[in-house]
Structure 1
Amino acid sequence: MISSSGIGRSIAVLMAREGADISIVYLADEEADAKETKALVEKEKRKCLLIPFDLTQWKICNTVIDAHVQEYGRIDVLVNNAGKQEMENDFEKINLDTVESTFQANILQMFAITKYALPHMHKGSSIINSTSVVTFRGTSSMIDYASTKGAIVGFTRSLAKNLIKKGIRVNAVAPGPVHTPLQPASRPAEQMEGFGEGAQLGRPGQPSEIAPSYVFLASNESELYHGQILHPYALGD
């Protein structure tokens, strides 16, 4: 279950190249992106099911799992990649409704999707969550976002312990600055100037450089990985 653009698109295409059939959950106003990703997956001769759904409606997101299972019958890999971020430099002005919706979009739906997916998973299945470098470095302008990403780290490590005896692996990926549609959508245009240039590599990452981490964690080669966080960014950023 992955988003339809940016890192999600790269994950979908790369996993399709490895032989996976894909389901993509997307917001209704992102249908064009979803269809483009579907076409890229199908170009790899794999199936791609599009599921329009707002995951902040986490109380009824079992319908997403139902749609996937009706199409494919089971879940081998669950990628929890959907999320949102908004910037606010003055904490006194932070909108608590925005905080609530960020938690709904980034962590509550992850709990719900995973809960409903588990009955359809099996020994050897893999759950891969998207967190962020800001969990470990902190950020002055996205405190709610960083808090949810920190919660995802705790969720990942704790769920890994919970499921290890069932043979289901749970891990996460924590990218550094990556140039995706989420970035310009969440900040003024002037703040995109020089985005990522302060990183030690002198540039932001690209989604295609992040996706291999997910493919590795989905593969049998990562059987020793339980509760681990992969960091695809230069050490010390």
Structure 2
Amino acid sequence: MQGYRQSTYGDRLADIYDQVHHAWTPVDTVETVAALADGGPVLELGVGTGRVALPLARAGVKVTGVDVSEPMLAQLREKDPEGLVQTVLGDFIDMPVDGTFKVVLIVNSLLQLAGADTQRLCLQRVAEHLTPDGVLVLEEANPAVFTNPGLEVLRMTSDELHLLAQQYDPVHQHYFAQHVIIRGGEARLNPMTLRLTSTCELDLMCESAGLVLAERWGDWARSRPYLADSRSHVSFYRRAGA
């Protein structure tokens, strides 16, 4: 998508991100990650406005959050006046953090890296920051439910209209979208570009980083298997031999 940068999604959407995604609650995510951390520190890549990181920190987990979008981090800091979450501005390749973490959490953010090479480099950097008994937890979209082009109505009221325009490039596995919000006679465009990965490709990239799949589920509560029609999967990776 012409003119799109890694930070574009967060920069454009930061001020209304929580409002747009208000229907999603991270209760199961927080409970699962807190249990995996077991008192150890957590690193979240793509921390955004802190919708997972803040409840984790308030539960007593030490959380460091990395995001490439300063407006997103500004929203997080505004909600976190006590500074419970350590925020770091940076991308997932440089990953400007020190030390190791019991859990590295990535919720649909690996997909925002533009190619297989950058996704693979990110996973290698993650492995460098995991404790020997640490776990990488990834939520990713199921490509099968994101590859149909077209226009979708997300929300329609007497005052506003939300539309989602979608395209998919199967050669490069790129998904392009525009979330269009029309309100008060004005239209707001919120673009998004993802590189969708299959679970097989993801497993191979993790394997090259020394991480092996331990579990995969269709939800954060680990109550549903990941199936062909699942919207996303939650995958848990640990060091080979751990």
TM-score range, shorter chain: 0.3 to 0.5
TM-score (norm 1): 0.45
Bigger relative contact order (CA 8 A; separation at least 6): 1
* Higher helix residue share: 1
* Higher strand residue share: 2
TM-score (norm 2): 0.45
